């Protein structure tokens, strides 16, 4: 049997989000522009709670550095990290373990990227423009929470779309 999926479009044709108190969301053409002067932790989040397994899909760009995607209780993926811009950072959602992937997080300013985060019971996989950039393995069966996207350190993140896909475990 095949797996069923349930999609929530957070930013896109529909608007189904909550704005964090530390950021501002405006529209430019068909895109969403997220700004914040906060160090980090400022984002726009979906209203829905996702539970493993799920996917996050985004098409986004930054004006300088930092596209941060949030998931689960405390999970974060950072592209263009300000400390080491070439490093992809994956912060695990259950135990907050931090994982660095040298030369896997670099993003050019003012260029749209297709970003996917796939969270399963055994792994978190990050793909950018169809290329696998990093994966951590562990027990993520308890990963649960809202998903979000945002800037850090005064950067501006422009989003064409941002959505979550709640997957169902296939029935044998």
Q: Quick one: which of 56, 81, 50 has its CA closest to 161?
A: 56
For the beta carbon of residue 130, count every other beta carbon within 10 angstroms. Answer: 7
pLDDT at 132: 98
- The pLDDT value recorded for residue 39 is 76
Span 55-71, pLDDT tens digits: 999 999 999 988 999 99
Contact 23, 34 (CB under 8 A): yes
Decide: 16 and 9 in contact? Cβ < 8 Å: yes
Residues 113-149 have pLDDT tens digits of: 999 999 999 999 999 999 999 999 999 999 999 999 9
The Cα 75–Cα 157 span in angstroms is 19
pLDDT for residue 121: 94
Per-residue confidence (pLDDT) for residue 133, from 0 to 100? 98
**Is the full-model pTM beyond 0.85?**
yes
Contact between residue 68 and residue 151 where contact means Cβ atoms under 8 Å apart: yes
Instruction: Give the angle 124-80-144 at the CA atoms, nearest 5°.
Output: 30
């Amino acid at each position: 049997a095949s797996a069923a999926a349930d999609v929530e479009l957070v930013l896109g044709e529909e608007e189904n989000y909550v704005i964090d108190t530390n950021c501002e969301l405006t529209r430019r053409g068909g895109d969403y522009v997220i700004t914040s002067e906060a160090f980090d932790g400022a984002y726009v989040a979906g209203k829905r709670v996702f539970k493993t397994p799920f996917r996050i899909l985004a098409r986004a760009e930054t004006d300088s550095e930092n596209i941060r995607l949030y998931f689960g209780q405390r999970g974060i993926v950072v592209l263009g990290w300000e400390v080491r811009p070439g490093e992809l950072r994956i912060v695990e959602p259950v135990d907050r373990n931090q994982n660095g992937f040298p030369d896997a997080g670099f993003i050019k300013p003012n260029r749209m990227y297709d970003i996917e985060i796939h969270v399963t019971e055994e792994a978190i996989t990050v793909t950018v423009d169809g290329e696998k950039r990093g994966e951590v393995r562990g027990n993520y069966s308890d990963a649960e929470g809202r998903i979000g996207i945002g800037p850090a350190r005064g950067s501006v993140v422009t989003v064409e779309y941002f959505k979550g896909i709640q997957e169902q475990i296939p029935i044998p």
